[in-house]
Structures are given as C-alpha cells and as structure tokens.
Structure 1
Amino acid sequence: MNMRKVTYGILLILGIFVVGYLVYFILQGHDDSASEAINDKNIIEASKYPGVDLVTEITETKKYNIAMHYPKFKGEKANAEIEGYVSSIKEDFLAKVDENKKYIKDYVPELSLSMEIYPVMENVYSIVFSEENYVVGANAQQKGKVYLVDTKKGDFIQPTEIFKDTKQNREQLYVLLNQAFKESKEYSPLLLEGELENWAQDPDNHFKGMYLKGKSAVFQFDKYEVTAGAAGMPKISIPLDQMQNLLTDEWKEKLQIKNDKKETPKNSDDKNIAKGEKTDIDKHSSKGVKRVALTFDDGPHPKNTLKILELLKKYDAKATFFMLGNRVDFYPDVVKKIADQGHELGNHTWDHKDLTTLSTAEAIQEVERTNQAIKSAAGREPTVFRPPYGARNKAVENAISMPTVLWTIDTLDWKSHNPDQILKIVKENVKDGSIILMHDIHKTTVEAVEPVLKYLKKEGYECVTVSEL
C-alpha cells in the first residue's frame, strides 16, 4: 500500500515537471524578439545642444530591422510625448510586418526614424523627424513630424502660439507657399495645387509640419500630401520677414529680424590640404611593406571615436572613418579631430538608408547633405563613400562622384560584441591589401582596436587609409 502511494507521488511530480517544461517551451517559442534578435541596443549620449541628449535604438532580427534616433530632455512631459510618438511608430510598423508576413519572403522589412535639430533661440529648438519604413509594395512609406520645444520649461510650443490662425492668414499663407513651390525647380512640376489649397484652408491642421530654421519658417509635408510621390517629403522655406503679418505680437518681438548677416565660415586652404594629403601618401608609400586599411562605420561617437583616435596615434596608424551625416551634425568637434590627425573622411549617407530603395534624387540628397555636414565640421569634404549595407546599383554609382569603397574583412563586431572574436576574425583573414570593417559606435570594438593594432604591427602590416591602399 505504501509503495503504491510512493509510486503515485513520483508520477505526480514527473507530470508536473513535464507540464511545466511544455509551458516554458511554448512561451519561449512565442518570444520572437528574444529568439531571433541579432543586434539590440539602446544608447543615450549627450549632444552638443544644451538640454538635449540623443537616444539611439537599434534592433536587428531575422524578421525586421529598426533604427531610431530621438531626443531626450529634462522635462518629463516633453519626454512622454516623444516616447509616445516613437512607440506608436514602432507598434504600427511591427503590426504591419505581422499582417503581411505571408508576402515577405526575400527581404527584411526596415523602419528608420531620423531627426534633425535646429536651434531657434536659447533653450528653444525645432526637432524634425523623418520616418521611413518598407514592409510591402513598390515604395517605402515616408512620413514626417515636427516639434518646437522649450527645454527650459520642458514643454512644447504650438505653431498657433507663433502664427495667428485666422482665415485671412491661411489665405495669405497659401499664396506664399504656392509661389515658393512654383519657384522651386525640384517641386514645381510635382505640385498638386488643389491639395495644397485644401491643406491651407483646413482649420484643423493647425499649421502642422511647420518649424523654425534660422530666419525662416519651414513647412514639411508628408509624401503624397501636396505633391506627387516623386517629390518625397517636400520642404518649403519662407523667410520670416515675408510673414510678419502672420506672427503673434509675442513672437514678432522674439523673432524680429535685425542686422541679418550670415556668418561666413572660415575657408580652408584646399591647396595646402591637398598637399598635406599627398605628403601623407608619400610617407606611407615605401615599397615592400604589407598594407591594410582599418575602416570605421556609423560614427562619429563622442567617446568611442576619441579613444580609437588615441590608439591610432599610439601605434602610428591611419584609418578611414565612414560617417553618418546626422551624427556629424551632433559631434562636429570629433570630426574635426579625425581630420586634424590625418585620417581619411568617408561618407556613409545621412541616416543609413538603403540607397537602392530610394529615388536617384533622394539618394543624391542623402550623400550631398552628409558631404556638406562633414565639410562644415572639418573644413573639407569626404574623399570616399561607403553605401549602407554595401547596397548599390548602377543608378547609385552613377549619381555619386566619390569612389565607392566596400570591405574585404567584416569583423562582425556589431554582432559578437566580443573583442577576442573580432581579433580572431582579423587573424584568420588578413592579408596584404585587406580592408577591415569595424564600427566605432560600439564600446567592445574600442576594446578590440589595440589588440588588432598590436597584431598587425607584429605581423609587419602598415595601417593606411583606403585611398592610400
């Protein structure tokens, strides 16, 4: 009798264990993000703008890729609004991916949220978001959103606080916008006048999409909102001195235009720069020396890039930095140091979009904006270009004048986050003429740089820029 009870007890315990294991297995099977995550990070960094930090969220899985950049303020109210906006974008994208999973076969859906910041006055900024996602269909979906934020108050400024929202003012605004569109060579053939008029007359839009930049008000429209799709998300700028009748008395005083002289940036001596680059090339052109090129993508980073520069200087090594324009805008001082220390400046587009999914005009804009940002920070434009994901086609190559440089060794630093693994890949694959790909946005990559430099020096390799290679 006692033996029978013991047997029943053992069977009961085993049954509970099996059921528990099955429940755990089922739950794990439904946790797609945990089981399929390839790269998942959330980074908060200080920016050059007082009171504004930069949040970077990267999620890469087998089913989708997400890259989001947005600001973080001191005020809880402002942060709650921004975080709600970011969360809604992400949720809508994931829902769309789930709804269309049976149609998604040979590609990975992508969501990109980038931002730009324009100082208006002390503690006041225009925050301009650009959202792009591709799940299904022929074209990527593009949307924008703007905020005017007072970081001291920790709250947002509504466009209707700046402009008097009356029927007469809306009619005047339509005339100004219509004229500006027609004077634009880019947008004039694509303008849908009826849609623009409807937008201007709609009292519920509250000047949606308006932000301040310099001495102008900029109106950003969604794709297809007032133009044909080929225009993307058009932006029309109207000088504030043409809009003084529309301004409230308070903001007319704040934005009064006096002695409007644009500061002329200091010109660099291009001849001296070219001569300096040639001297560097001559210095590294000794025959019989094995050469490799270290390249760093997706920066600059306010801490990691500076540490890498110190290590490169320590080992008398040169490198090439393929930088994102939206990060150059945040960290111009780091870009200046890269240039001043003799490293090569590379263009990696404005916000890491796959150029093969864009129109030629959009692809050119991604590259040209980055060229200008780098030139503004360093005094000279980049000399080489690397397309995000290595994605390119004839249209992209024909549109870009710089040499396109890919890589021969992918250290997979973004995936492993393991300095030992990064070094192992270099050891197993390096040879004379190798181009090594790393990312200076990862702390673990910084930890790998010195062991890599030590190994290359020991094996008789000289680290040069890709152009020198």
Structure 2
Amino acid sequence: MRRIKLPGWIAIVLLLVGIIFGVNKVVAKVLEESPESDEPKVKVVDSSVYPGLNIKTETKETDLYTLSVSQPYSGIKQINKPIDKWINKQKREFTSGLNKSKEMLEKNDFRAHLNIQAETKKIADKIYTLELQAYQINGGANGITKMKSFVIDLNQNKLLKLEDVFQLNEESVKDIQQLIIKELHSNQKISSYIFDDMVKKALDNPEELKWSINSKNVTFYFDEYEIAAGAAGAIKVEIPIKKIKPYLDEKFAKKIDVKVPEEEKIKEEEQHSKGPEKLDPDGKYIALTFDDGPHPKVTPRILETLRRYDAKATFFMLGSQVEYYPSIANRVGEAGHEIGNHTMNHQDLTALGINKIKEEIQESSSIIEKATGRTPTLLRPPYGASNENAEQAANHSGTPIIMWSVDSLDWKSRNAAAVKEEVMLNVSPGSIVLLHDIHPSTADVLRQVLTALEKQGYQMVTVSQLLELWDEKDIGPHYGE
C-alpha cells in the first residue's frame, strides 16, 4: 500500500472542508424555504403614527459638549435631502463655534450644547408639517435659536413650496405681508423689539419665508435677531386660517378641508349677539366713518380692505342709495360694521322745517332697517350742517348727531396720496375721521391709511364704541377728539 505524501493530505482536507461547507449551505437553504422552519418570516410594518415618516435621534456627550438631534426622514430622497442639509448646517455651525470657544469652555468648566427638536403635525392624509428648532450655545451669555419648517406631501412625494399652497399674485402677497406685520405689532410682548426695516427685508423675499400650515393656522417663523432684538427670541407669527383662507390655492384648500373651527363659529355668534366688546380706557382708538353710500363698486372694495385688517367702521348711509343697493347695505352690517343714518336725500337740514327733517330721518331709517334688519342709532347731518331743529328731530328719533374731528377731504381732492397725508397729519386718539365710500380714490388709499395707522398703534372701532368709552349719552353733536 502506497503512503500518501503531505501535499496529498492537504488536498484531501481541502476537499472535505468544501463538501461540508456545501452541505451546510444546502441545509440552510432548505430550512429557509421549509414551512416547518422554527423562524417564521417577519413582515416589516411602518409603525409610525405618521405613515411614510419616521424619526431618528442622535445623542452625544463629551467633556466639552452635549448634542441631541431629532431628525425626521422618509423613504423619499428629494424630501430627506433638504431636511438633512439644514440639520447638517446647524451641526457645522455648532462645531465651528465649538472650535473657536474650546479654550474658554475648558477654562470656565462649561459645556456647549446643541439641541435640535422636531415637531410633526398631520394636516391631511399623508400631508405633514415639520417644524425644526435648533438651539445652540457655545459658552457665551446667550444661546441662539433658529427655526425651519417643511410641508411634506407624501401623496406627491415632494416638499411643498409657498406657490403650491397660496395664490401668489402681487395683491395676495401684499395682503399676506400686511397680515404678518399686523400680527407682529399687535403682540405686546415683542412689538417694542421689532425693527420695521428688517421686517420689510425679510418679507420682500416670499420664497425665502419659513412657514407651515395646519387646519387652524398658517405660521411664519423668524430666527432670533432676524427681524427683532435678541430679547424677542425666535418669533412665530400665527395667522388664523379664516383670515388667510382667501389666499389659499383652491385645490390645496380642498385637500386639507379648511373650515372655520366650530369653536370659533360659536365665539363669533356670541360676540355678535352680545354686541361690541368694551374698550380699554387706556387704548388708542379712532373711528373711521364712511358717508353717502352704499356704492355698488366702491363699498365692496372698502369692506374687503377692512376685513383684511380686521378693522371696524361706521357707515352713514343715504336712504336713496340703500333703496337701490339693499344687498350691499346688508353686507356692511353682516361684516360687523355699524350703520348710521345720513338722511334720505342728502339735503341741508338747516334749510328745512322740523317736520321735513323728521321725514328725512324716518324714511331713510325705515329703508335701512328693511334692507339690513338693523335700525340706525346714529345720525350724521349732510354737510355737517345742524341747528336747533335738527337737534330736536334727532332727539325725537333717538339718534345722536355725529360730526367728525378729521376731514380726509377725499370728497375734494379725489387723490389717494392727498387723502392719506390729510388723515395722518391730523389724526389723534379719539378722532372721528370723515371718509366717503363713493370715491374710488378712497378705496385705493384705504389699505395704505390702515397700515400707517396700525404702525402708530391705532385700533379702528365704531363710533358707538367711542361714545360708550367716553360715557356720552346725549344727542350731541359729537365731534370726536
């Protein structure tokens, strides 16, 4: 029998190893495919409460810093990329600041921090808002907060841009900007810190705005120091959906089923039934008044502008106009404005006998009541002309005589710029301002006037609210302050 030399043994061992390895693979394959295998197949299920979206959290702690980053992600690259980009930018900025302040941190035994939080809200089926907030401090007296938002539509596998959600024509953009400005200045906690030039710069680039939307609000985000002093911090401006609904893209509005919440409807009904709210004695109020309407073209424009600024006014209507345009008169009342009586035919009451004055007042009042369901409780004599007879007739009808303290002269100039200048030069707290809702130039300038007044802190109220504030119950005449 021949002996097997060493090379032969090596070949035999390798052959045996190969055979064993092959058998194991076959057995494993059989077990994998066998229905009687002890390891059942497991189907991976998306367990997130936001189908299509998940989140991962990264944490780190060293002697120099702590880090916590919550990072939402989807299975869609074009959605993940901008989210990752923003988060990575915050990390780079933090690392850069860390390197610069390393010696100071070690010297003062202080740890730097980076914290990125994510808040997710569902606004419709597979449509979400992501709100990211990054706070970092590298050892200075104060940290800094930055914000970023994303609106994700997983039905289309895309991040929605402003133009996907809003009608971005020139007029709509201006109106949305004004809504933001108004909200900023009405917030007493931050209004004193706001820099108007920085706000204008931020709003001049709508495509750069940070925003989100849900069924109740549209929110605009501004980083710390972006539009205000640091004491204001990062700023959120929330616009109620009912105010911004007219500017939403119709298709998108249907997707998210925008409605005025039932609670708000109830509140509006309660306010309407209770009448105007009482004014703060320390507030800064004026009353805008509009004479000689309603007008079929001008009055609706004025109503729309007042609505956008959430401003209330008093309309002194002519019975002869209401007779022709009752539906427009009714719209004024339905919008929450006050309706006063400007007589039937705009005659100079000082040239009439007392019975004729009473007739002018009563006939107009009846027509207004029929059209609007509201009996006028105030009287403005045409041309501001009044005498003892007019006062007696006003007393008989129970309607105080309302004059004005600021004449816009819109009836004379018919020029938008001149009207604005006249109002802003003469207005003061408690003013009653005379305007007319029959001149297109008045409708043209109203937005500018309201913007300027709001910047000065004025709130527009009805004449009756001013009278109540002053505790004025007599017939007048009342001129305002």
TM-score bin, normalised by smaller chain:
0.3 to 0.5
Which one has the largest radius of gyration? 2
Normalising to structure 1: TM-score of the pair? 0.43
Normalising to structure 2: TM-score of the pair? 0.42
